[in-house]
């Protein structure tokens, strides 16, 4: 029961900041779940990070779907781009999960921490690419999708921190870049979830109630709590100093990732 409360609390925290700052919860969920799983005897130490990645990716399915519907209602989704990039996204997420499941936890944790630090620096400095080119052809968009999908699966994110800068760089309006990125997050979550299920299926030593690398007891509490609180965060985004909160959140991200890394190496 104590761990259920911990999962609910984590869902509320990530959902609130995802709604307020437009940031996916994976960057918070992965280090937090890694520490929670490490504190429970039922989890094999070598698979803790993989379970955290898979569980976090599965939760994105529902938040991505809700975000997609909201942006579609406002006409902010470029469905032609979504259709072109999705095959690459699905291939990339499957490759990313295969690669993630084949490497040990420590190198994977180092990569995850480095990525978190890059995202945090971008948030603190508010770095944005300047529009300087047009979207590539269908083959180019698919190739970009493979890269975005693979990297998103490796760090269990919905891809917003990658897709939005790419589309902005290609002269897509910010509103459409954000809306299209939200739609792209859904195939990322589908491919990533299926990949972590497949690559963890039948793996020896995984805890009871695991679906591949997805730990269902955490999943069933994270999803409703994060979706419940996200609208509140979105409403408060217009009343609170979002720029300051984003910088504080970036510091929290770095601290969580560093604590996760320290725990895995210690």
pLDDT per residue over 14-48, tens digit each? 877 776 666 667 788 899 999 899 888 888 888 89
**Tens digit of each residue's pLDDT (9 = 90 or more) over 196-240:** 999 999 888 899 899 999 999 999 999 998 888 877 776 776 677
Q: How confident is the model at residue 140 (pLDDT cuts 50, 70, 90)?
A: very high
Specify the pLDDT at position 98.
93
Specify the pLDDT at position 143.
95
Q: 138-155 vs 174-200: helix axis angle to the nearest 10?
A: 60
Specify the pLDDT at position 234.
65
Specify the pLDDT at position 91.
96
Residue range 120-144: mean pLDDT, rounded: 86
**Tens digit of each residue's pLDDT (9 = 90 or more) over 171-190:** 988 888 888 888 898 899 99
Q: Yes or no: say if 20 and 242 are a contact pair by the CB < 8 Å rule.
A: yes
**Tens digit of each residue's pLDDT (9 = 90 or more) over 104-130:** 888 998 998 899 888 888 888 877 888
Tokens of 115: 């990525």
Residue with the bigger pLDDT between 20 and 6: it is 6
Q: How confident is the model at residue 99 (pLDDT cuts 50, 70, 90)?
A: very high
Q: How confident is the model at residue 265 (pLDDT cuts 50, 70, 90)?
A: confident
Please name the residue ranges forming H helices in the chain.
2-21, 26-38, 48-73, 79-102, 105-125, 138-155, 160-169, 174-200, 216-236, 242-265
Specify the pLDDT at position 188.
92
Q: How confident is the model at residue 259 (pLDDT cuts 50, 70, 90)?
A: confident
- Our count of domains for the chain comes to 1
Q: How confident is the model at residue 164 (pLDDT cuts 50, 70, 90)?
A: confident
Distance between CA 207 and CA 199 in Å, rounded? Answer: 15
pTM for the model stands at 0.88
Specify the pLDDT at position 159.
77
Bridge-based pairing of strands 210-211 and 214-215 is antiparallel
Specify the pLDDT at position 1.
64
Tokens of 183: 């739609």
Average pLDDT, rounded, for the chain: 86
Specify the pLDDT at position 179.
84
Distance between CA 222 and CA 40 in Å, rounded? Answer: 17
Specify the pLDDT at position 97.
94
The DSSP element (H or E) to which 25 belongs, if any, is none
Specify the pLDDT at position 24.
64
Domain that holds residue 207: 2-265
């Amino acid at each position: 029961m104590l761990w259920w409360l911990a999962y609910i609390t984590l869902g509320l925290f990530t959902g609130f900041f995802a709604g307020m700052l437009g940031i996916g919860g994976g960057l918070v969920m992965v280090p937090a779940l890694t520490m929670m799983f490490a504190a429970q005897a039922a989890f094999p130490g070598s698979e803790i990070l993989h379970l955290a990645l898979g569980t976090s990716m599965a939760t994105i399915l529902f938040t991505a779907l809700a975000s997609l519907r909201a942006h579609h209602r406002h006409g902010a989704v470029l469905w032609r781009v979504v259709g072109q990039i999705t095959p690459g996204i699905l291939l990339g997420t499957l490759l990313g999960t295969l690669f993630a499941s084949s490497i040990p936890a420590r190198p994977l944790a180092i990569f995850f921490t480095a990525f978190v630090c890059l995202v945090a620096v971008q948030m603190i400095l508010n770095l944005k690419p300047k529009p300087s080119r047009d979207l590539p052809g269908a083959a180019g968009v698919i190739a970009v999708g493979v890269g975005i999908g693979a990297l998103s699966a490796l760090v269990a994110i919905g891809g917003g921190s990658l897709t939005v800068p790419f589309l902005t760089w290609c002269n897509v309006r910010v509103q459409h870049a954000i809306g299209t990125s939200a739609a792209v997050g859904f195939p990322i979550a589908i491919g990533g979830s299926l990949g972590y299920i497949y690559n963890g299926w039948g793996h020896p030593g995984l805890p009871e109630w695991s679906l591949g690398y997805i730990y269902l007891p955490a999943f069933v509490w994270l999803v409703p709590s994060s979706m419940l609180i996200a609208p509140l965060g979105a409403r408060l985004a217009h009343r609170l100093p979002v720029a300051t909160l984003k910088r504080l959140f970036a510091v929290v991200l770095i601290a969580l990732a560093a604590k996760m890394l320290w725990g895995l190496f210690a």
